Amino acid sequence: MAKQPAAGSQPLTQKDIYLFHEGNYFHSYRMFGAHLSTENNKEGVRFTVWAPNAEFVGVAMDANEWDGGRAALELLPKSGGIWSAFLEGVRYGDLYKYDIRSKSGERLLRADPYGVYAEVRPNTASRVGSVDGYAWGDQAWRRKRRAPYAKPMNVYEMQLGTWKQKEDGTFYTYRELADVLIPYIQEMGYTHLEFMPLTEYPYDLSWGYQATGYFAPTSRYGEAKDLMYLIDRCHQADIGVLLDWVPGHFAKDAHGLRQFDGSPLYEYADPMLAEKPGWGTLSFDFGKPEVQSFLISSALYWLEMFHFDGLRIDAVTSMLRLDFEKKPHQWRPNESGGVENVDAIEFLRKLNRTIFSYYPNAIMAAEESSAWPMVTAPAHEGGLGFNYKWNMGWMNDTLKYVETHFDGRSSLHNLLTFPLVYAHSENYMLPLSHDEVVHGKKSLLDKMPGSYEEKFAGLRLLLGYQITHPGKKLLFMGGEFGQFIEWKDEEQLDWLLLDYEAHRKMQAYTAALNHFYLNEKALWEIDHSWDGYDWINADDSSQSVITFVRKGKKPGDTLYILINFKPIAYEDYRIGVDKPGAYAELFNSDDIRFGGGGILNGELIRAEKGTWHDRPYHLPVKLPALGMVILKKSARSADTLKVSEAPAKKSTAKKKASDKPSKMPKTDAKPAARKGKDQ
């Protein structure tokens, strides 16, 4: 096992101080904070903090009855406001805060901005901690880790405290979660976990999005080395781990970063830039070099010291736009008269350049909800430099469509086809995240119209549509088994639902779908190019059906996908194909074992000669109501006999609606979407 490299205590050098004030000291956590050390043969802690506008800084602790005047730090000469001292006898786990006297004479007790260990909320002190010395066992994972552009990536997003709780309602620790979470993720077939924010935060119901400790994993679930253990175990089980990271804003709590030394230090001095009125938080001053050193060091810290495989950057749009969720009197244009926050744009480019210089295969995914261009283009080409962007357009269009009653879907067919127009303009991840199952939006299952059975069929269809659409995948916990009510952010998921057959079958469906995704290269090998996708027919709005092809690098990997968004079964739904031979059904969401009605294509389907969808052959397919069918051309030589020119035999499948669907038009017209245009 490899031993964790030391994070501190690194002696201060003039070079480090210079780089910090230039915005280029990317390992500033090695210099700042509370580091266990031995100096002059004495054991204790070296405390170092940046407070340029303070008149005095000390360390308040139990040992000095919380009077920092008895443990003063020294203002280092020519340091730009860095205070430091070695305090003998301070030990691991000791509580402390910085005792700061501002220029106005106010006494401030602040938690350590670089602290690596925090007191369990509601208490707010820092603890002396250490992230050194963990013996890692994930060397094989890190050696083989590559950027996932041509690899499967299916992310399970979760909030650690509400995924599952103990019988008495208390949290599992990081270490305990390793034993219950990892087998579940393996069984379900996910490739990655994404943890909602773990940077220490004071208020449970902020879900971690309003942080106070950018270097401290929350103590709700244990200590730093316990989190390392969880990530290490995940890697040894071939599961990647991402962290939701929030550089856009921070909490205003009195012990945190706000007015840290009595003046705006981490936030903008201008309230119009600093205030985020909709969230009650403060924006970081992205143009201040020391803040850049702080934030980029935090990002690197989680990758370096905890071995996270990447970061999901929260609320990027709120950083980019000066007018984000603000009324006209709450913001002013930039010097060019625009809405762009130039500081934030340059910070994000610098962040991504730095991360990829250290970790070329890291995942840096932006939650960017506008149509901001070139989010995943390299910074040196004028992009923001991320390598993934959450596809919020796909998510909004898709959820609007599937929430619409079946009778209204035909008029909204463009919500299925338009996302393909821009599907390859960025490297996209398709999110069905926590934001979509809170605040009265209903759970994914409850969004679906129709009867009890149709709701489950609709959820199966939604997840199947996500898996087969270009882009990497993300699903919030509970969606995999059909959580029936919204995410309860203080209680565990409703695991008791698995006592009911419909939910057990929904979970079985998701697992089967995820493993199918892992095994079929056509669903991920060419994810970011039109070379991996082709419409068969995008125009069947009257029947709310879309049919398309997903391709891998080898022709034999090609999949033919039919998705029916109406509760009407079609006994002979025809699609055009390019090659003769027999085609096998590989996956069908209507399988009885998944809770479906059992309308399957049990036998090989032989291609019939005759132009259909501008292709020389066609297949007669049984297409279930609210169902997805996935076919692949059989590779067996016996199945490539002469193509039948006889009409398909009638199926015994029955329509599930009184209105008779129109027959598929037999046409040579090529759908416009095959040329990359909107329908």
With the C-alpha atoms ordered 428, 463, 630, 506, is the resulting torsion angle positive or negative?
positive
Distance CA 148, CA 251 (A): 34
With the C-alpha atoms ordered 8, 9, 11, 14, is the resulting torsion angle positive or negative?
positive
User: Which burial class, exposed, middle or buried, applies to 469 when counting CB atoms under 10 A from its CB (0-12, 13-18, 19+)?
Assistant: buried
Distance CA 331, CA 321 (A): 10
318 CB-near residues (< 8 Å, 6+ apart): 248, 249, 276, 283, 324, 325
**Helix segments in 116-159, DSSP class H:** 139-144
**DSSP letters along 367-419, please?**
---S--TTTTS-GGGTS---SEEE-HHHHHHHHHHHHS-GGGSGGGTHHHHGG
Question: To which residue do tokens 């003769």 refer?
Answer: 580
With the C-alpha atoms ordered 115, 119, 121, 123, is the resulting torsion angle positive or negative?
negative
Q: Is 367 known to be catalytic?
A: yes
Beta strand residue intervals within 399-495, DSSP E:
428-432, 472-476
The CA-based angle 590-594-598, given to 5 degrees, is 35
With the C-alpha atoms ordered 398, 399, 401, 407, is the resulting torsion angle positive or negative?
positive
Distance CA 660, CA 603 (A): 26
Q: Is 176 known to be catalytic?
A: no
Secondary structure class of 188 (helix, strand, coil): helix
Cis peptide leading into residue 9 (ω within 30°): yes
Q: Cβ(557)–Cβ(517) under 8 Å?
A: no
261 CB-near residues (< 8 Å, 6+ apart): 51, 52, 53, 54, 57, 81, 100, 102, 108
In our burial notation (b when 16+ CB lie closer than 10 A, e otherwise), range 131-165 reads bbebebebeebeeebebbbeebbbbbbbbbbbbbb
List 157, 267, 314, 343, catalytic entry: 314
CA 216 to chain centre: 20
**Helix segments in 52-159, DSSP class H:** 139-144
DSSP assignment, residue 433?
Answer: -
Distance CA 510, CA 155 (A): 13
CA 395 to chain centre: 13
Distance CA 503, CA 495 (A): 10
List 132, 200, 261, 367, catalytic entry: 367
In our burial notation (b when 16+ CB lie closer than 10 A, e otherwise), range 251-270 reads bbbebbbbbbbbebbbbbee
Q: How many CB atoms lie within 10 A of CB 432?
A: 21
Q: Cβ(553)–Cβ(525) under 8 Å?
A: yes
Distance CA 311, CA 393 (A): 21
DSSP assignment, residue 566?
Answer: S
Active site residues: 314, 367
